[in-house]
Structure 1
Amino acid sequence: MNSINVGYARSFERHGKKVLIILATVLLFSSVYAQQPVENQVKTTAIGTSKVWGTVNGVAIEGLVQGPAAVAVPLQVACVFEYTEGDIFNPPALPAALNGMVHLDEALKGLITEVRKSGKFAGHALETLLITPPKGTTKATRILLIGLGDRSKFTPDLMTSVGSVALREAVRLGVSHFAFASDIKDAGIDSPTALVASNVTKGIIAAYRTQLFLQGKKYANGKPLTKVTLLAGPAFFNTAGEGIKEAVASFSN
Structure 2
Amino acid sequence: MGRYSPRRFLPPQEHILTMNFSFASGDAVRAGGALLVIPLFDGDLGDTLPSALASAEKALEGKLRTAAAQEGFKAKADQSVSIHTLGRLESDRVLLLGLGPRAKFTPEVLRLAAGRAAKAAQKLKVADFTFALPSTEQPEWAVRATVEGLLLGTYRFDRYKSASKEEKSPPRATSVRLVLPEGAQKGPALEQALELGRRVAEATNWARDLVNEPANVVNPERLAQAAQEVAKEVGLKATIGGQRDIERLDMGMFLAVARGSVNEPRLIHVVYTPKNPKDAKRPPLALVGKAITFDSGGLSLKPSDSMVDMKTDMAGSAAVLGAMKVIGALKPPFPVHAFIGACENMPSGDAYRPGDILTSRLGKTVEVTNTDAEGRLVLGDILTWACEHKPSAIIDLATLTGACVVALGNYIVGAFGEHDATVEAVLEAARSAGEEFWRMPVTDLQKDALRSEVADMKNSGERWGGAINAALFLREFVGTTPWVHLDIAGPSQSPKERGYFNKGATGVGVRSLVEYVRQRTAEAANAPEEEAAAPVKPSKGAKAGKGKAPRA
Q: Is TM-score (shorter-chain normalized) higher than 0.5? A: yes
Show the counterpart of 1:15.
Answer: none
TM-score normalised per structure 2:
0.30
1:27-49 deviation line (CA, Å, top 9, x unaligned): xxxxxxxxxxxxxxxxxxxxxxx
User: Larger % of helix: which?
Assistant: 1
The counterpart of 2:183, out of the listed 232, 235, 238, is: 235
Cα distance in 2 for partners of 1:177, 1:132 equals 16
Q: Which amino acid is 1:244 matched to?
A: L
The counterpart of 1:70, out of the listed 17, 30, 44, is: 30
Alignment of 1:52-91 (within 5 A): 57-83=17-43, 86=46, 88-89=48-49
**Contact 2:45–2:74, Cα closer than 8 Å, also in 1:** no
The counterpart of 1:150, out of the listed 95, 101, 104, is: 101
Structure 1: segments with no counterpart, 5+ residues: 1-55, 94-98
Show the counterpart of 1:18.
Answer: none
* Other structure's SS at 1:139 match: coil
**Contact 2:33–2:129, Cα closer than 8 Å, also in 1:** yes
Cα distance in 1 for partners of 2:31, 2:44 equals 27
The counterpart of 1:202, out of the listed 132, 148, 155, is: 148
Alignment of 1:122-161 (within 5 A): 122-135=74-87, 137-161=88-112
The counterpart of 1:101, out of the listed 34, 45, 53, is: 53
Cα distance in 2 for partners of 1:130, 1:82 equals 17
1:206-236 deviation line (CA, Å, top 9, x unaligned): 122x22x22x232774223321221114632
Query: Quick one: structure 1 residues 167 and 118, their matched pair in 2 at CA, closer, same or farther if it must change by over 3 Å?
Result: closer
Q: Which amino acid is 1:108 matched to?
A: L
Cα distance in 2 for partners of 1:248, 1:226 equals 13
Show the counterpart of 2:520.
Answer: none
Query: Quick one: structure 1 residues 113 and 224, their matched pair in 2 at CA, closer, same or farther if it must change by over 3 Å?
Result: closer
Cα distance in 1 for partners of 2:83, 2:45 equals 22
Show the counterpart of 2:196.
Answer: 246
Q: Cα RMSD over matched residues?
A: 2.6
Cα distance in 1 for partners of 2:53, 2:31 equals 13
Query: Quick one: structure 1 residues 84 and 245, their matched pair in 2 at CA, closer, same or farther if it must change by over 3 Å?
Result: closer
Alignment of 1:176-195 (within 5 A): 176-182=127-133, 184-185=134-135, 190-195=136-141
* Other structure's SS at 1:246 match: helix
Show the counterpart of 1:111.
Answer: 63
Q: Which amino acid is 1:126 matched to?
A: D
Cα distance in 1 for partners of 2:182, 2:46 equals 24
* Other structure's SS at 2:177 match: strand
Name the structure, 1 or 2, with higher relative contact order (CA <8 Å, separation 6+).
1
1:50-90 deviation line (CA, Å, top 9, x unaligned): xxxxxx8432122222322112211111111223674534x
Q: Which amino acid is 2:106 matched to?
A: T
1:4-49 deviation line (CA, Å, top 9, x unaligned): xxxxxxxxxxxxxxxxxxxxxxxxxxxxxxxxxxxxxxxxxxxxxx
Query: Quick one: structure 1 residues 234 and 146, their matched pair in 2 at CA, closer, same or farther if it must change by over 3 Å?
Result: closer
1:96-136 deviation line (CA, Å, top 9, x unaligned): xxx2222122112223443567783211112111111121x
* Other structure's SS at 1:172 match: helix
Show the counterpart of 1:225.
Answer: 173
Cα distance in 2 for partners of 1:234, 1:123 equals 21
* Other structure's SS at 1:180 match: strand
Show the counterpart of 2:220.
Answer: none
TM-score normalised per structure 1:
0.63
**Contact 2:67–2:83, Cα closer than 8 Å, also in 1:** no
Structure 2: segments with no counterpart, 5+ residues: 1-15, 204-324, 326-552
Cα distance in 2 for partners of 1:61, 1:129 equals 23
Show the counterpart of 1:47.
Answer: none
Paired-residue identity, % = 19
